[in-house]
Amino acid sequence: MIFYTMEDFGNCTIACRHKDCFNYLTEEELEKLEKYKITINYRKGETLIKQGSAVNHVVFLKSGLAKIYLEGSNKDLILKIIPPMHFIGLSSVKCKDDLYIYSSSVYVDSVVDLIDRDFFLKLIQSNSDFALSVIGILNEATAVSYRRVYSLTNKQMHGKVADLLVCMSENVFLSTDFNVPISRKDFSDLLGISVESVVRVFKEFKESGLVNISGSNFKLIDVEGLKEISNYG
């Protein structure tokens, strides 16, 4: 039996690449999929899905970078960052009211596949291997949500920031040297701390030799040190 800890899951996004689920489709199903999807280019800042709107498609991010967030009366809460080859809004596809439970927009110019919702559900009903793969995606999304709640409610400021940087490196950009098209305000919303606190911790991490930060470019120098702060900070 395999046991997982909170540290086995990132808190900023899902690690697995969702495109793998399409490997379980037959050639005939893949041919039909091409007929039931459209590909759209989105410009930086454009909205992909709107909280409370009807779910007509399954959204698949082919390239670019997106975020999903809950819209509040005074402030939005960023739930996750979505890297390429991931579904967006999958948890809303078969909800009680068939409405999106959150919004999503893109950080950079992005390419998105919109798959007809009814066709997607038929694939789940007719192909058990594909269905199990989708269930696995939803299960990991749930685990990430638990991990995020744990981080936001139990970790101190420095631990939250270290946690996010490691997650971005390992699960989003797949590199220790990456360019983040995300504002300090969005960092603040992701971490649940003030913008001033984000800037201060970045400065402290840089002075401590943990990370080199130049504008939107981040280079993690001491990944193990960041992980230690993430686990105990």
Report the pLDDT value the prediction gives residue 45, as an integer from 0 to 100.
95
Distances (CA, A) of 145 to 22, 83, 140: 24, 16, 9
Provide the pLDDT confidence category of residue 1 given band limits of 50, 70 and 90: very low
pLDDT tens digit sequence for 85-126: 999 989 898 877 889 999 999 999 999 999 999 999 999 999
> Residue 1: CB partners within 8 Å, gap ≥ 6?
none
112 C-beta neighbours (distance < 10 Å), count: 24
Q: pLDDT at position 142, please?
A: 86
Label residue 8 by pLDDT band (50, 70, 90).
very low
Q: Hey, what are 79's tokens? A: 């739930």
pLDDT digits (tens, 9 = 90+) for 60-86: 999 999 999 998 887 788 888 999 999
Q: Do residues 163 and 151 make contact, with C-beta atoms less than 8 angstroms apart? A: yes
Query: Strand, helix or coil at 220?
Result: strand
| CA–CA separation, 228 and 230 (whole Å) | 5
- Which range is least confidently modeled, 58-67, 140-149, 165-174? 140-149
Q: Which DSSP string corresponds to 101-115? A: SSEEEESS-EEEEEE
For residue 69, give the H/E element and its range.
strand 66-70
Mean pLDDT of 23-44: 96
Query: What proportion of the chain, given as a percentage, has pLDDT over 70?
Result: 92
Report the 10 Å Cβ neighbour count for 122.
14
Q: Which residue ranges form the domains of the chain, and what is each CATH number?
A: 12-148 (2.60.120.10), 155-232 (1.10.10.10)
Asked if residue 226 has pLDDT above 60, the reply is: yes
